[in-house]
Each structure stands twice: as structure tokens, then as C-alpha cells.
Amino acid sequence: MMGLQGNQFEVMEGDCMVLLDADVDATSEAGKQATHTANNNKNSKHGWKLTGALLAVTLCLAATAVFFTGHAKEQDHAEKADDLRHTLRQISGNLRAAIHLEGEHNPDLKTSVEWKEGVDQYHSQGGLKLDHNEIVIPRDGLYFVYSQASFRVSCHSDADATAKPMVHLSHSVQRWSRTYGNDDNKKYETILHSLRTACQRTVSDEPEEEGNWFSAVYMGAVFNLRREDRLKTVMEEGLLDKLEEEPGKTFFGVFAL
């Protein structure tokens, strides 16, 4: 800002002020040079101060930005971790009860396949378990019960084929429940039963050389079961030694709906 007061000029540059005497000879080169040098020195000092202040502000802003960016990332990671834990809790809470067992022939069992844990496609979750070759229901609800038995049978015989002309295959699932009455009675009721004819028997002098027939009996349905109900399979003793034991051919399972 420049203003005229009396016989003096007032010159202000930021916080710097220079008073110039009006009587100084304007044509004096020495006076001009001295004045110019003084102004440059003052302007230079002020410029360095301003540059330092701007640099400090810039560094402060950069540090603040880094702080908030890091804080935002930490919050983002924490939120993602919370979402993952919530999802896992939901999956765990919605875990449906299920069990799948593979079967094989055991000569010591005369009326049923022996059901095995820990083999082939076996799995168990949600409280369903195998106990004394029976599946135990963990809680009241609707369940899909299923089973399949696969057989390898011969349709040729060296005996009289007219006595038993047809080869039949059968397989059953039975249920025990407290709702049936006395707990000590251990009364079982059939809830699934399948019977099919595999082939018609024929007479042959060499039946073993005639080959075998392969057939499977499958059954499954939905039942309203109660907690601690027990399910078992039943099969004719004469069919047990004809059982197919390859993976996926004979199985027994239950899953909640």
C-alpha cells in the first residue's frame, strides 16, 4: 500500500514498512540502489518465512491424511472381520442335521447290513449319530429317511426251479419311538419296505458259469420323527451274503428338512 502524508511516502510490504524521504534526489543512483537492496533483502527473508510456513502446513496435512487413511483401513478390516464372523455364526446356526453311512456284510449280523462310519462318502453333522448300528434322532422335526441295498444274485440253479421260480430282493427300515408305549418293550415298526423281483430262476448244470444279475433296491420318504427315535434296517439273512459292497452301492442316511 502506498500513500502520501506530508512530504513522505509510506511503503508496506506484508509486515515490512519503509519510509522514503521526499527530499532524496530521485536521480541519485546510489540512493536507488540502496533502497532496492534493502527491499530485496526484506522480501527474501519474508519469502523464506512464507515458504517454511507453507512447508510445515503441507507436512501436517500429509501426516493427517496418512493417519485418517490408516484409521479408515483399520476400520474397514475390522468391519470385514465382523462380517465374516457373523456369516460363520449364521452358517453354524443353520447347520442341518444329516448323516450318510456306507454298508457291508458282517457274518455276525443275521438280520441287517453293518453300517460303517468314516469310510467312502460317510458324513455326520447336526447331532445325528450311529449307535449300535442304528441312527439316533437328535430332536423333533421332519426328516427324509433313505436307504439302498445292492445285490449280486444268480438266476440259475441246479435245483428244482419250480420250488422258487422267482428271485426276490427286499430291504426295510424300522423305527423305534417312545411314542409307541413302554420304553422297555423295544417295539419297532416298519416305516419303509421295498420288495422287487430280480429275475426268474432257471435250471442249469453249471449255474456259476451262467453269470450274475446285479440289482438295487432303493427307498426313501419324509417322516415326522421325535427326539431319541431310533432307525435300523432289516434284511433277510439269505440276501446278506449277496450284498454289493463297492462304494456308493449300499447306503443308509437321514437328513433334516
Model pLDDT for residues 69-120, shown as the tens digit of each residue: 655 556 666 676 677 666 555 554 458 899 999 999 999 999 999 999 988 8
Query: Alpha carbon of 139 to those of 15, 101, 129: distances in Å?
Result: 87, 20, 12
Same-domain pairing of 63 and 174: no
Chain center to CA of 200: 50
Question: What pLDDT digit, counting tens, does each position of 124-165 carry?
Answer: 999 999 999 999 999 999 999 999 999 988 776 656 555 567
Looking only at the bridges linking them, the beta strands covering 2-5 and 213-225 are unpaired
**Grid coordinates 408305549 are at which residue?**
181
What's the pLDDT score for residue 26? Answer: 41
Same-domain pairing of 205 and 83: no
Calculate the average pLDDT of the chain: 75
Question: What pLDDT digit, counting tens, does each position of 7-39 carry?
Answer: 444 434 444 443 434 343 444 444 455 454 545
Question: Looking at residue 124, which CATH number applies to its domain?
Answer: 2.60.120.40
Same-domain pairing of 76 and 168: no
Give the C-alpha separation, 248 to 233, whole Å.
Answer: 17
Looking only at the bridges linking them, the beta strands covering 129-131 and 188-200 are unpaired
Give the C-alpha separation, 145 to 124, whole Å.
Answer: 14
Residue 69 domain boundaries: 2-90
The count of structural domains within the chain is: 2
Same-domain pairing of 185 and 69: no
Same-domain pairing of 204 and 245: yes
Cell of 11: 511503503
Partners of 203 in the beta sheet? 157
